């Protein structure tokens, strides 16, 4: 009631034409220069409603129209166009409403740290987290939360109050160039890890953005492709990952994607933005467009787009004068503009942007933050092979040949908007010379050299290094060493998809070194799955992903056993491209430019539907190279005493025992195959650290939507009555315990 009165009286004031009226407006404006104080126990929504009621139409309009926050010297527009004076040289800027104490939104990328892609802020360094895939490989939600909190703290200390972090796309297409930015192929694991990382970011009073909503699963033709998938499959896979991430993380914003889904661009897709996100999931925050992903004014506004990001990246200034005109003509209702502004403000209030303002120049504990990154890497490294316990290496090793992968300079990182310039600068920068990114990007090695860390871990050893370009020289070095450690890299980046074959002569190099020395260890630094045709010839394979700060040290700690590997694959490694649902990458007949929607549009069909990743392999009876959920340890684990409980919920209890001689951590994974289903689904997991001979009793209650199917007619999840097959173990394809449980029929609202 009070709010309505205030609104009406403000409107009266604003339409007053007398000098007295103008004076009154001036005094109201003056009185409002302080942030709207929070009324005790007021909800973010009530506070937002109170604030929106005080805003002029132009103030609301300015809140829904974002700017590119940087100006790149010498670049053509939009990159080189002047940026708003207050912008901090980063991806995005949205003016605030100083009259009402609403701060500007200073937005920076991204999920792996405060990015400085294209070196927008010369010299501005930050702590790089390992890739999101590495974090997901820890299967430890606390690792994701801590990583999010660390990068959120750095963003805040640098003056940013929005981190464009929280990638939650499924690794449906294993060649996707951005796989390293996302937490893998499973909806539950992805949702939990993305949600925890978002929660961590927002714990620092920095808004996090779940992205790229939705089905943005490949980079080739990303601005033109149309994903064709039936609603049921979409709800049970890509959308479920977002649903879980949003529930856990409560991000202030969601970024809609470049691609089309079911014929409409994601940023003007009423099904995605309104039906699912805002109606079914009751999402209260705002939807921002990806940079260059807005395509209309009225259609987008009615479909649910709340804010056009970096409007100069779009074909027109859609949420500028055209939106004002659409409101004036009634083509877009005023209430929609109020809703847009309300959503943005309520997220700002909820995350605490007013009470905890971000200011540049805050203190950053670089050493502590490097340890957060290192912890993530040490839990995320996956040991894929360890024949005859070749690893861990003895610190007393006498001769070690380190080969390839720029291990002398540092650890690889992925390219694109997530690119962080690490504290200490770049270890090495290699220009990209082919593909759509040629001349636009460099491959950056963060300055945390594995070679230096190996030397430090084995002080008595003669450690040699060969770059790998000269295969004969590398073979010669390997012949004279007790062990050879070959570093192999696969660079992935936003804007182009990847080959699963290691580039250059890396496969031949590994093969030749392994032939010369049976004690060959391969350390992979990859942004996703790769093919390993030499796997049977080498002694050990360690998947280190993109390692982040102190990455060389983390790898050495695993190689020498100070850390017992406990990571599990968040993605399947295929044995060959023929095994993929789309053996040929859709759109790969054409080369698409990075940011422009030019070129032939095309449809992407996903024959696997909801059976993403490991589910597809099971359904088709295919044996992958390494299955989802797989990873070895320097100790062994035994499972026992399975008990299952059915009815409405499915609860599984069992024991895990460390039967080896070292302390280690095991990820216990629970999979369930519904009656009549063709594959098992991950329904729960937990990571337990156990001393030798220690046994822990573990109890896991299944996430119910993973037991159910989505009924598109009734618009809810249905758990069918019947017998569900349960499989428990340390990998998706090797159950240690199996059982059955009977569930009753129940429904779950989305
Ligand atoms: C990316 C987003 C990013 C944005 C701003 C886009 O190209 O897809 O992930 O947040 O740029 O840099």
For residue range 219-228, list pLDDT tens digits in order: 999 999 999 9
Q: What's the pLDDT score for residue 33?
A: 54
Identify which of 218, 290, 312 to mutate to test ligand 1's pocket (most ligand atoms within 8 A of the CB). Answer: 290
pLDDT at residue 217 is higher than 90: yes
| Full-model pTM | 0.95
Q: What's the pLDDT score for residue 598?
A: 84
Give 59's pLDDT tier (boundaries 50, 70, 90): very high
The pocket around ligand 1, CB under 6 angstroms, is made up of 91, 109-110, 164, 211-212, 290-291, 417
Q: From the alpha carbon of 216, which atom of ligand 1 is closest?
A: 8
pLDDT at residue 553 is higher than 80: yes
Q: From the alpha carbon of 167, which atom of ligand 1 is closest?
A: 9
Catalytic residue numbers read: 290
* Both tokens assigned to 103: 């701060």
Q: What's the pLDDT score for residue 440?
A: 87
Q: What's the pLDDT score for residue 22?
A: 31
Query: Who's near 477: CB < 8 A, 6+ residues apart?
Result: 401, 403, 464, 466, 484
Mean pLDDT of the chain: 94
CA distance 400 to 450: 13
Q: What's the pLDDT score for residue 301?
A: 98
Taking CA atoms only, the protein residue closest to ligand 1 atom 5 is: 91
Decide which of 84 and 591 is more confident.
Answer: 84
Decide which of 376 and 397 is more confident.
Answer: 376
Task: Tell me what the mean pLDDT of segment 162-172 comes to.
Answer: 97
Give 75's pLDDT tier (boundaries 50, 70, 90): confident
Q: What's the pLDDT score for residue 730?
A: 98
Taking CA atoms only, the protein residue closest to ligand 1 atom 11 is: 291
Give 34's pLDDT tier (boundaries 50, 70, 90): low
Task: Tell me what the mean pLDDT of segment 433-438 comes to.
Answer: 88
Q: Kind and range of the H or E element at 506?
A: helix 506-516
CA distance 101 to 96: 8
Q: pLDDT tens digits, residue range 680-691?
A: 999 999 999 999
Q: Is 64 helix (H, G, I), strand (E, B) or coil?
A: coil
Instruction: Please give the distance, rounded to the nearest whole angstrom, from the Cα atom of residue 417 to the centre of ligand 1.
Output: 6
Q: What's the pLDDT score for residue 36?
A: 62
Task: Please list the residues that pair with 261 across neighbouring strands.
Answer: 227, 264
Identify which of 162, 256, 494, 595 to mutate to test ligand 1's pocket (most ligand atoms within 8 A of the CB). Answer: 494
Lowest-confidence range among 2-16, 358-372, 378-392, 693-707? 2-16
Q: From the alpha carbon of 117, which atom of ligand 1 is closest?
A: 12
Taking CA atoms only, the protein residue closest to ligand 1 atom 7 is: 291
Identify which of 70, 110, 593 to mutate to test ligand 1's pocket (most ligand atoms within 8 A of the CB). Answer: 110
439: left (phi over 0), alpha (psi -120 to 50) or beta: left
pLDDT at residue 161 is higher than 90: yes
Instruction: State the DSSP string of 583-626.
Output: SSPTTTTSPPPSS---S--EEEE-TTTT--THHHHHHHT---SB
* Bridge pairing between strands 253-256 and 162-163: unpaired
Give 74's pLDDT tier (boundaries 50, 70, 90): confident
Q: What are phi and psi of 474, to 5 degrees?
A: -65, -40
Task: Tell me what the mean pLDDT of segment 237-246 comes to.
Answer: 98
Q: From the alpha carbon of 417, which atom of ligand 1 is closest?
A: 12
Q: From the alpha carbon of 212, which atom of ligand 1 is closest?
A: 9
CA distance 570 to 388: 25
Taking CA atoms only, the protein residue closest to ligand 1 atom 6 is: 291
Task: Tell me what the mean pLDDT of segment 704-733 comes to.
Answer: 98
Q: What's the pLDDT score for residue 35?
A: 58
Task: Tell me what the mean pLDDT of segment 263-269 comes to.
Answer: 98
Give 703's pLDDT tier (boundaries 50, 70, 90): very high
CB atoms within 10 A of CB 433: 8
Taking CA atoms only, the protein residue closest to ligand 1 atom 8 is: 290
Helix axis angle for 19-31 and 2-15, nearest 10°, is 130
Q: Under a CB-based contact definition with an 8 Å cutoff, are residues 92 and 66 in contact?
A: yes
pLDDT at residue 31 is higher than 50: no
CA distance 215 to 238: 6
Instruction: Please give the distance, rounded to the nearest whole angstrom, from the Cα atom of residue 252 to the centre of ligand 1.
Output: 17
Instruction: Please give the distance, rounded to the nearest whole angstrom, from the Cα atom of residue 67 to the centre of ligand 1.
Output: 13
CA distance 236 to 728: 22
Taking CA atoms only, the protein residue closest to ligand 1 atom 2 is: 290
């Amino acid at each position: 009631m009070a709010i309505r009165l205030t609104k009406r009286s403000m409107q009266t004031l604003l339409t007053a034409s007398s000098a007295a009226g103008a004076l009154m407006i001036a005094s109201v404006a003056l009185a409002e220069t302080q942030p709207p104080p929070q009324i005790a126990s007021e909800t973010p929504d009530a506070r937002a409603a109170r604030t929106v009621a005080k805003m002029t139409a132009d103030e609301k309009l300015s809140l829904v129209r974002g700017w590119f926050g940087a100006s790149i010297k010498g670049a053509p527009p939009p990159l080189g166009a002047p940026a708003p004076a207050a912008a901090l040289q980063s991806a995005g800027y949205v003016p605030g409403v100083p009259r009402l104490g609403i701060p500007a939104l200073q937005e920076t990328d991204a999920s792996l740290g405060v990015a400085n892609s294209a070196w927008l802020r010369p010299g501005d360094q930050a702590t790089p987290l390992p890739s999101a895939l590495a974090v997901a490989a820890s299967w430890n939600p606390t690792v994701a939360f801590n990583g999010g909190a660390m990068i959120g703290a750095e963003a805040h200390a640098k003056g940013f109050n929005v981190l464009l972090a929280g990638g939650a796309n499924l690794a449906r297409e294993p060649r996707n160039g951005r796989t390293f930015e996302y937490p893998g192929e499973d909806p539950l694991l992805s949702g939990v890890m993305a949600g925890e990382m978002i929660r961590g970011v927002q714990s620092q009073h920095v808004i996090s953005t779940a992205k790229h909503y939705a089905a943005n699963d490949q980079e080739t033709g990303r601005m033109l492709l149309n994903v064709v998938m039936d609603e049921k499959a979409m709800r049970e896979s890509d959308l479920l990952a977002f649903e879980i991430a949003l529930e856990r993380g409560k991000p202030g914003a969601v970024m809609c994607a470049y691609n089309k889904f079911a014929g409409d661009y994601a940023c003007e897709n009423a099904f995605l933005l309104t039906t699912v996100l805002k109606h079914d999931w009751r999402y209260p925050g705002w939807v921002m467009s990806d940079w260059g992903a807005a395509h209309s004014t009225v259609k987008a506004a009615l479909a649910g787009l709340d804010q056009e990001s970096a409007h100069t990246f779009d074909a027109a200034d859609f949420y500028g004068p055209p939106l004002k005109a659409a409101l004036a003509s009634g083509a877009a209702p005023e209430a929609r503009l109020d809703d847009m502004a309300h959503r943005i403000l309520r997220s700002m209030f909820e995350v605490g942007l007013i009470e905890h303002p971000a200011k540049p120049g805050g203190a950053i504990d670089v050493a502590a933050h490097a340890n957060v990154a290192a912890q993530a890497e040490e839990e995320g490294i996956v040991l894929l092979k360890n024949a005859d316990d070749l690893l861990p290496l003895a610190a007393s090793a006498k001769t070690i040949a380190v080969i390839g992968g720029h291990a002398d300079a540092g650890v690889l990182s992925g390219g694109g908007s997530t690119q962080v310039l690490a504290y200490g600068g770049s270890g090495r920068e290699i220009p990209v010379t082919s593909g759509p990114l040629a001349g636009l990007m460099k491959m950056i090695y963060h300055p945390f050299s594995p070679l230096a860390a190996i030397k430090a871990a084995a002080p008595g050893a003669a450690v040699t290094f060969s770059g790998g370009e000269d295969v004969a020289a590398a073979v010669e070095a390997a012949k004279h060493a007790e062990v050879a450690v070959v570093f192999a890299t696969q660079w992935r980046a936003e804007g182009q998809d990847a080959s699963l074959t290691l580039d250059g002569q890396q496969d031949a190099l590994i093969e030749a070194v392994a032939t010369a020395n049976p004690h060959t260890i391969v350390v992979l630094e990859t942004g996703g799955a790769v093919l390993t045709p030499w796997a049977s010839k080498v002694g050990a394979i360690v998947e280190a992903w993109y390692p982040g700060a102190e990455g060389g040290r983390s790898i050495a700690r695993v190689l020498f056993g100070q850390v017992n590997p406990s990571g599990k694959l968040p993605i399947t490694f295929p044995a060959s491209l023929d095994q993929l649902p789309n053996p040929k990458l859709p759109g790969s007949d054409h080369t698409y430019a990075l940011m422009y929607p030019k070129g032939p549009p095309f449809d992407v069909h996903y024959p696997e539907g909801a059976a993403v990743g490991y589910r597809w392999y099971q359904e088709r009876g295919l044996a992958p190279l390494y299955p989802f959920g797989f990873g070895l340890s320097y100790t062994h684990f035994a499972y026992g005493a399975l008990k299952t409980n059915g009815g409405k919920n499915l609860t599984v209890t069992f024991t895990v025992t460390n039967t080896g001689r070292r302390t280690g951590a095991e990820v216990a994974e629970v999979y369930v195959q519904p009656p009549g289903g063709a594959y098992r689904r991950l329904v729960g997991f937990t990571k337990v650290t156990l001393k030798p001979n220690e046994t822990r009793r573990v109890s896991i209650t299944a996430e119910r939507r993973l037991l159910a199917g989505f009924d598109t007619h009734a618009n809810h999840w249905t758990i069918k009555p019947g017998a569900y097959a349960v499989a428990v173990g340390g990998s998706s394809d090797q159950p240690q315990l199996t059982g059955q449980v009977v569930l009753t029929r129940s429904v779950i609202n989305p």
